[in-house]
């Protein structure tokens, strides 16, 4: 899952993950990511700057520290200490788009938020998941979404299944969406029904037109 997510993190055409992602309101690309394995190990980074593969730093946090999540300069310093190189994450396109948005805040792209979440079941029947994003376009400086939050952007229970999210992180976080889906699968919901129920619980709180998007993927232990 780390290797899969790295592909998307490297792709400047994907404007909401890794290099070439949309910036925050100050013109800076900040990254959130998390990873979980079949042994309930987890690692995450939030508000990470200037590192090309946040998912690899999340894995390093999981495997080489006693913590689950590092944020901001602490996450950056940890990455540098473990051999990651400083990398300018601002593509020309992202800078130009940010300048246009500063001129007129109506210049906001349709694809202004998204995430790569990858779930996998290996040949031994073990599950893993990884999640990475540059977050909401032109977010307030310091904003962190659901993607690095274990249980919100991603959850893996090797006895049951795995789930991951994309969409407006604020909505996903308030419902701990990925954990909810795995718990529902534990209670017997199939993956499709569990995802639908997680979406229903979010939208039921609103009346009228829903003006945001959330989506989930789920994988059950039996594949
Ligand atoms: N789901 C990505 C974010 O809201 O940051």
pLDDT by residue (tens digit) across 16-28? Answer: 888 888 999 999 9
31 Cα to the center of ligand 1, angstroms: 10
167 Cα to the center of ligand 1, angstroms: 6
Task: Tell me which residues have their CB closer than 6 angstroms to ligand 1.
Answer: 113, 115, 133, 135-136, 145-147, 166-169
The whole-angstrom separation of Cα 77 and Cα 123 is 36
pLDDT tens per residue across span 24-62: 999 999 999 999 999 999 999 999 999 999 999 999 999
What is the token pair recorded at 80? 């540098």
Enumerate long-range contacts of 175-182, CB under 8 Å, 24 or more apart: 175/201, 175/202, 176/151, 176/152, 177/146, 177/152, 177/202, 177/214, 177/216, 178/151, 178/152, 178/153, 178/154, 178/216, 179/151, 179/152, 179/155, 181/155, 181/216, 181/218, 182/155, 182/156, 182/157, 182/218
pLDDT recorded at residue 112: 67
Round the average pLDDT of the chain to a whole number and report it. 95
Active site residues: 115
């Amino acid at each position: 899952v780390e290797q899969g997510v790295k592909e998307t993190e490297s792709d400047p055409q994907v404007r909401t993950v890794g290099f070439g992602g949309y910036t925050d309101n100050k013109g800076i690309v900040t990254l959130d990511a998390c990873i979980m394995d079949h042994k309930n190990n987890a690692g995450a980074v939030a508000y990470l700057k200037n590192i090309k593969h946040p998912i690899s730093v999340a894995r390093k946090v999981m495997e080489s520290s006693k913590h689950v999540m590092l944020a901001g300069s602490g996450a950056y310093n940890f990455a540098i200490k473990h051999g990651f190189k400083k990398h300018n994450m601002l593509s020309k396109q992202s800078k130009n788009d940010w300048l246009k948005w500063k001129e007129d805040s109506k210049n906001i792209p349709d694809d202004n938020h998204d995430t790569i979440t990858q779930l996998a079941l290996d040949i031994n029947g073990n599950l893993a998941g990884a999640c990475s994003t540059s977050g909401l376009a032109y977010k307030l400086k310091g904003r962190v979404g659901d993607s690095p939050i274990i249980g919100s952007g991603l959850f893996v229970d090797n006895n049951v299944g795995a789930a991951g999210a994309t969409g407006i992180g604020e909505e996903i976080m308030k419902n701990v969406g990925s954990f909810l889906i795995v718990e529902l699968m534990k209670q017997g919901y199939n993956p499709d029904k569990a995802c639908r129920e997680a979406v229903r619980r979010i939208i039921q709180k609103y009346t009228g037109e829903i003006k945001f998007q959330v989506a989930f993927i789920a994988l059950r232990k039996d594949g």
